[in-house]
Amino acid sequence: VTERPSTKQPVSYAYGNNYSADGVATDGTHLYAQFFWPAGSLFDLATAVYDIGHPGLPIRTIVGTGCTVSFSGGALGYGLAISKKYLFEGCVDAGGSAGGVFVYDSTKNGPQAPIVELPGGDAGVAIGP
């Protein structure tokens, strides 16, 4: 993930050795970026949380245990949104043909079960006013 301000050099936010996924969101203070988290013989969908004012490594990682696929195939995330303290994570392989949206506490670090699963999420996730 690279920020390109008009008058400064590019700023990098580092994932490490994991695979990125299809979701980036911000709440104005933090940058949230999805990636695949190895979990034994599976991948979980995780979100790295960065401090926008201090680029570099994540300040915490939310490992959502609701959206999981095997190493041999499957689709994980397709969209990410943040509202208040909640992280909304789209999951293609959840909830049947329409996918699912898993909701997590964005203030916590490490693995966590979803607070709730909502229908939809196959075509992305967005929060409106």
Mean pLDDT score of the chain: 81
Summarize pLDDT for 61-112 with one digit per residue, the tens.
999 998 887 776 666 666 889 999 999 988 877 767 778 899 999 999 999 9
pLDDT at 79: 82
pTM above 0.85, yes or no: no
**What is the CB neighbour count within 10 angstroms for residue 73?**
7
